Structure 1
Amino acid sequence: MNHASHPLAAGLPALLPDLRDVYEDLHAHPELSFQEKRTAQIVAGKLRDQGWDVTEGVGATGVVGVLRSGEGPTVLLRADMDGLPVREETGLPYASTVTALNDQGETVPVMHACGHDVHVTCLLGATALLAADRESWRGTVVAVFQPAEEVGGAPSMIEDGFLERFPRPDVCLGQHVAPIPVGFAGTRHGTVMSASDNLHVRLFGTGGHGSSPETTVDPVVMAAAIVMRLQTVVSREVGATQMAVVTVGALRAGTKENIIPDTADLKINIRSATPAMREKVLTAVKRIIRAEAEASAAPREPEITELPGFPVTVNDPEATDKVLAAMAQVLGPERAFTLPHALPGSEDFGTFGSALGVPSVFWHFGGLDPASFEGFRLEDLIDQGVPADIPGNHSPRFAPLAEPALDTGVRLLLNAAAEWLGHPGT
């Protein structure tokens, strides 16, 4: 599968057993956003053992390693560390049984359902090989292990003085394991992932006894009407060739079957690929919420609170060409593909490039067993998407194939970084 990996990767086969151990340990011990203390401790210890200058506690629980090898360009490599409040159902021998307290003080299960354990392990593999062979490259590498990607942790690192405390890179590089077969990777010029806006909506009614609904203003009915009407935003206000997604991910109201409550709460997620579409959809969602409340004779206007979100992730075209070339070197040109459109998922990785004023590139690489995709061609995956029966990111059954996904992820990071790092004598 590996066609022309960088010479830095020569030591990778010997390193893979240790990386597999690290991965299984991280997978079995996930931590929620901004709670990644154990993960950060492991990362910091390994970076120090490798010879990196290490700073801990960046943006709460983030870790940054800096490694220099003479004069040359500076490359930032990023991995995210947090898990999700999901109960694991993979059946893996190293499956997580961890629980933790969330921000609301509730005990929740925790799982690496988005593959961040893969990302951390791959970057630790790349840092080990870069440190072991400093004579083969010139420049500076900044390894960023970021907390809380699931809630937008990159801004917390920027706000913690990242620009002043660490070398300014010439490029920022990041990757994400995806529910596609191991051995494939893709990215695109321009917008590669969508913006994500999140709203918490509180609806106000007038509570009372379930036997006398005429004496109340029922916020549950109001919430149900809003949920259904929101389905028309994309189907009737967004063009067929445009991209937007509106999801009501939570609806909570009441405590008992015969009590009509005073309030109902909705949590809404909105995805968009352009600033104009973002504004259009946000405006429509808020209009519908307020109009349905008025139609229900709500005693007061809804409270609409904007929660932390994600900006559009934008790849620099010239830098993307270099990364695509690096992918082709590792996987072969037939397995390194260009995405035809931006993905509806969101990421905060682009915060680094925009805040630092430098180009960035984000790509996706396969993490699942190719046997699960028997009969599907690459063209099918690009045109039709991942089959519905394949567990994707955030699924309780998402289980990357550690071997050879870790091998691939390390090689992609090294080859991509090598597109910028200098060589001895240059």
Structure 2
Amino acid sequence: MGPLNGGRVDGDASPEGGRLDLEWLENIYKEFHQEPELSTAEEKTAARIIRELTPFTHWKVTTNIGGYGITAVLENGEGPTVLMRADFDGLPVAEKTGVDYASKHSQLDAQGQRVPTMHACGHDHHVTSLLGAMHVLDGTRDKWTGTVVALFQPAEEASIGANGMVNDGLGNIIPRPDVCLAQHIVAGPAGRVFSAPGPVMTSSTTIEITLYGRGAHASMPHRSVDPVVLAASTVMKLQTVVSREVPPDQFAVVTVASVEAGKANNVIPDSAKISLSCRFYDEALRKKCVDAIKRIVRAEALSMGADREPNFKFVGMLGATNNSEDVFKMVRGSFDEAFGDESVDMEPWTASEDFSVIPKSFGVPYMLWTVGITPRRQWDRAERAGRLDADIPTNHNPAFLPDLTTLPVGVRAAAVGVLSCLQGSWPRPDKSSEDQTYLPTVPTDADIDAVAVETSGAD
């Protein structure tokens, strides 16, 4: 059990007894890193994971759940059921790390364009860590009891992978978990493990807004209702949502990330489209800001004399990742024992995740923690110079690359988290909880006004 509590393992060690072959760990990580695949198109990655699961004869493996989703279940006597999730899709990013195992892969995206792909968010690290933790757990079956569910999830970057697995009958495929876990790598000192209770990642609401005007010749603007001007005024007015309607002590982001209008220099188009990415920790504030966005957009259209109301399409909604206090207390104590001073508090992260869809689908508590992967020398040099923001590549950056020494840390963190929860007692929540009704349909305006986002029932 030494490796589970922070002990080092030799490269010659066997997976038996919970020990890991570090050469295997590094090689399998590099394989995943070299050929990343985009969300919903992870065919080869899923096949590679399935091949790695073949030696796990005690685990029940199910494939093609909600696309390329995979689960592996190990029942090992009486005790809690603990689910550990890893995502495995890549991003349309051209890698610029310069390592000999860098991705040179490309793939057709949803629009049919060939784009370079990269594991710029560390999902290759997540999969490798979970596979390694499975080796540890499988090799120490005589030292723990309960049930472990390893869940490999596609399409996280598109915010649809967890929903897809739930909608495809995940609750009928695996035993109902008592607690769900996940980890994510981040820019931070290599090997440091960050954890906290409460909201640790934001909710995400993505809105596509179509503004309707009246087209005309560019030489006759008086005959038009110019949607380009309307889009410009709307974008500027939307900046007041956070600056003037959100209390200074609360967090909110409303970003207009895309503006599309017109195809020719002598034509005033009849419509324009703007896309918004909005982030919040607090659900009540999210609803307030969505209301403000709709109010401002409609008012701007009215002020321009538009004949038609704007159209709001909500293409992505994720709730905040809100870690359970009880799960945190259980796992953090084990992390402190395993990692010592490298187990520290996690600052809230403004990114969003679809992991919480899975525990919410079962109405059970959950926890997500992060692991730092930046080489220590690089981090310390940037910190001394006051250049962390400038010099340290973050997730989704073409230069984002985990230090290979963090692979066994990811394995240990995953295994320690699962084993600590197997020792806990997890009462089942009241089935009347709000988190029991999941609605996967595209929400209407009425849904947006009243919805408790991404709640779920997996019976």
Verify same fold: TM over 0.5.
yes
Match of 1:389 in 2: 391
Distance 2:9 2:283 in 1: 41
Say which SS state the counterpart of residue 66 (structure 1) adopts: strand
Cross-structure match for 1:258: 266
Q: CA deviation at 1:11?
A: 4.9
Corresponding letter in the other structure for 1:214: H
Residue 90 of structure 1 aligns to a residue whose secondary structure is coil
Taking structure 2 as the reference length, what is the TM-score of the superposition?
A: 0.84
1:220 equivalent to 2:223? Answer: no
Give the structure 2 partner of residue 187 of structure 1: 195
Shift of 1:217: 2.1
1:353 aligned onto 2:363: no
2:334 pairs with one of 317, 326, 341: 326
Q: Distance in 2 between matches of 1:385 and 1:148?
A: 33
2:214 counterpart of 1:206: yes
Name the SS of the counterpart of 1:387 in structure 2: helix
Does the 8 Å contact 1:11/1:129 carry over to 2?
no
Partners of 1:123 and 1:344 lie apart in 2 by 24
**Which one-letter code corresponds to 2:261 in the other structure?**
A
Question: Which whole-Å CA distance do the structure 2 matches of 1:324 and 1:407 have between them?
Answer: 18
Matched with 1:288 is 296
Matches within 5 A, 1:375-414: 387-401=389-403, 403-414=404-415
Task: Give distance in 1, aligned partners of 2:134 and 2:76.
Answer: 13
Deviation per residue, 1:103-149 (Å, 9 max, x gap): 23333322211111110111111112222332222221100001111
Are 1:15 and 2:17 an aligned pair? no
More divergent stretch after superposition (261-270 vs 54-63): 261-270
How big is the shift at 1:304?
0.6
Per-residue displacement from partner, 1:226-273 (whole Å, max 9, x unpaired)?
A: 222211111111111101111112212222333322221111111111
CA distance in 2, matches of 1:203, 1:124: 48
TM-score relative to the length of structure 1: 0.91
Q: What is the match of residue 136 of structure 2?
A: 129
Alignment correspondent of 2:118: 111
> Distance in 1 between the 2:53 and 2:331 partners?
25
The aligned amino acid for 1:167 is P
Change (3 A) 1:419 1:95: same
Gaps of 5+ in 1: none
Aligned alpha-carbon RMSD (Å): 2.4
- Superposed CA deviations along residues 376-411 of structure 1, whole A, max 9, x for unmatched, are 77xx9xxx995243221112221121x212111000
Report if the CA contact (8 A) 2:36-2:118 is conserved: yes
CA contact (8 A) 1:179 1:386 kept: no
Select the residue among 40, 51, 72 that pairs with 2:46: 40
Once residues 328 and 72 of structure 2 are traced to their aligned partners in structure 1, the CA distance between those partners, rounded to angstroms, is 24
5 Å-filtered alignment, 1:95-110, equals 95-110=102-117
Q: Which residue of 2 aligns with 1:60?
A: 67
AA in 1 matched with 2:171: L
What amino acid is the match of 1:50?
F
User: Residue type of the partner of 1:294?
Assistant: L
Match of 2:101 in 1: 94
Aligned-pair CA distance for 1:373: 2.0
- TM-superposed deviation, 1:169: 1.6
Shift in Å, 1:18: 1.4
Structure 1 residue 39 displacement after superposition: 1.0
- 1:335-354 matches, within 5 Å, as 335-340=342-347, 342-354=348-360
CA–CA distance in 2 between the matches of 1:34 and 1:112? 15
What is the one-letter code of the residue matched to 2:412?
R
Number of the residue aligned with 1:144 = 151
- Alpha-carbon separation, structure 1, partners of 2:7 and 2:178: 20
User: Which residue of structure 1 aligns with residue 418 of structure 2?
Assistant: 417
Decide which moves more: 178-187 or 99-108. Answer: 99-108
Cα displacement (A) at 1:215:
2.6
Poorly superposed stretches of 4+, deviation over 4 Å: 6-14
Q: 1:172 to 1:3 in 2, by over 3 A?
A: closer
Post-superposition CA distance 1:351-398 (Å, at most 9, x none): 121111221111111011122222677xx9xxx995243221112221
CA contact (8 A) 2:45 2:88 kept: yes
Q: Between the two proteins, what is the percent identity of the paired residues?
A: 42
How far apart in 1 are the matches of 2:44 and 2:143? 33
The gaps in structure 2 that reach 5 residues or longer are 425-459
The 3 A distance-change label for structure 1 pair 270 and 358 is same
In structure 1, C-alpha distance between the alignment counterparts of 2:33 and 2:266, rounded to whole Å: 43
Change (3 A) 1:298 1:397: farther
Structure 1 residues 100 and 373, CA gap change in structure 2 (3 angstroms) = same
Distance 1:68 1:96 in 2: 37
- Summarize deviations over 1:153-184 as a string: whole Å, max 9, x none: 11111111111221112211100001111121
* SS of the residue 1:96 aligns to: coil
Residue number in structure 1 paired with 2:371: 365
Q: Cα distance 1:139–1:21, how it changes in 2: closer, same or farther (>3 A)?
A: same
Please say if 1:168 is aligned against 2:176.
Answer: yes
**Equivalent in the alignment of 1:5:** 6
Distance in 1 between residues matched to 2:172 and 2:387, nearest whole Å: 41
* Counterpart-to-counterpart distance in 2, 1:298 and 1:386: 47
CA contact 1:198–1:308 (8 Å) conserved in 2? yes
SS at match of 1:416: helix
Retained in 2: the 8 A contact 1:198–1:306?
Answer: yes
Q: 1:55 to 1:234 in 2, by over 3 A?
A: same
Give me the whole-angstrom Cα distance separating, in 1, the residues matched to 2:89 and 2:257.
Answer: 20
Higher relative contact order, structure no. (Cα contacts within 8 Å, ≥ 6 residues apart): 1
Q: C-alpha displacement at 1:14, in angstroms?
A: 4.7
